[in-house]
Amino acid sequence: MTEQTARPAEPPLTRRVPTAPVLQPLGRLREDWPRSFADRLTAPLPGVRAMARLAREGTMRPGRDGLRDIPLLPYEPGPLPAAGPGTVSVTWAGHASWIVGIGGLTVLTDPVWSRRILGTPARITPVGVPWEELPRVDAVVISHNHFDHLDAPTLKRLPRDTPVFVPAGLGRWFTRRRFTRVTELDWWEACELDGVRVEFVPAHHWSKRTLLDTCRSLWGGWVLTDPSGRQVYFAGDTGYGHWFTEIGRRHPGIDLALLPIGAYAPRWWLRDVHTDPEEAVRAFQDLGARRMAPMHWAAFVLSSEPVLEPLTRVRAAWDRAGLPREDLWDLPVGASRVLAP
């Protein structure tokens, strides 16, 4: 953590007609990234006073009452959909890990198959799809370097020639582990893999993996677009803010938004970096997306809200917003849905 600094100004949204980004070459790695991406923060990082308050209040885990619903968490593993060239499908493996079938490819988002990650209790639901039941993984997208999104033991299971798409500044982490097809992208940059466009887009978050690398690599989400133009937006890890409107402006008609709804309490501590369920629904509306699938809950206990509360609150917020119930894909861990052609 760093000392609190002045809040960076949010850039004004432009009104020009959206244009597709210039495609970057696959396997692009750069040595000239900035030493720090702290100028991309949309909120100051917590300072010493906030850390002291957190330690004093001890509110980073739910109490006994908040944990009693663990047996009720939705877990319904099923067979993976066939990933044909015209199919767009998603399977929730848990937390922010999705198996996305798009354009005939199988893409993993922030794959975490480990039972435990650094600094947290063990998973409270199993992974929704056993690793040995995965089809061949054609690509991986990584949102940022926090341990619940960048899991070294899981990535070690992948062939080293698996195409990996990562934020600016994170490529070296992969090349040190002998991955040979690593592409680093900045916000609004894109490339194509076998006809599927992969674009890195902004998020309201930050990065840190060691005591000395705060904001040394970027953070964000991904928009995957198949050859017919269908789009899946994976938000990664994010708070609420202006970027959702801009992403929707540049990507009108997103078919499915994978949005985080958990790890939000205490609110004074996590508001800037994690959406709560009501903010996730608001972000969905800002995006102008057609469907929403909640994530980032029901796998790891990262914060103090009751474990089942994210689901009940997102359903209530969706209902209050008057949105069609069939467009909320509140999947159990391990379940799948397929976008109709």
Token pair of 124 as six digits: 């409270």
Instruction: Name the one residue in this structure whose structure tokens are 């102008």.
Output: 288
- Residue-level pLDDT at 144: 98
DSSP string, 21-61: PPBPPTT---S---S--GGG-SSPPP-HHHHHHHHHHT-SS
- Residue-level pLDDT at 55: 85
- Residue-level pLDDT at 84: 83
Crossing angle for the helix pair 277-287 and 243-250, nearest 10 degrees? 30
**How many C-beta atoms surround the C-beta of residue 22 within 10 A?**
9
Q: Band of the pLDDT at 12, cuts 50, 70, 90?
A: very low
- Residue-level pLDDT at 14: 39
- Residue-level pLDDT at 19: 65
Which pLDDT tens digit goes with each residue over 57-89?
877 899 999 999 999 999 999 999 987 888 999
Burial 321-341 (b: 16+ CB within 10 A, else e): eebeeeebbbbbbbbbeebee
- Residue-level pLDDT at 136: 96
Q: Please, are residues 175 and 210 in contact by the beta-carbon 8 Å criterion?
A: no
pTM higher than 0.85: yes
Q: Is 60 exceeded by the pLDDT of residue 18?
A: no
Q: Do the bridges between strand 231-234 and strand 256-260 make them parallel or antiparallel, or are there none, so unpaired?
A: parallel
Q: Please, are residues 334 and 129 in contact by the beta-carbon 8 Å criterion?
A: yes
Mean pLDDT of 309-331: 98
Mean pLDDT of 3-25: 54
H helix count then E strand count, the chain = 8, 13
CA distance 155 to 148: 12
Q: Please, are residues 292 and 328 in contact by the beta-carbon 8 Å criterion?
A: yes
In percent, the amount of the chain with pLDDT more than 70 equals: 94
CA separation, residue 280 to residues 239, 276, 291 (Å): 9, 6, 12
CA distance 265 to 127: 24
Which pLDDT tens digit goes with each residue over 201-236?
999 999 999 999 999 999 999 999 999 999 999 999
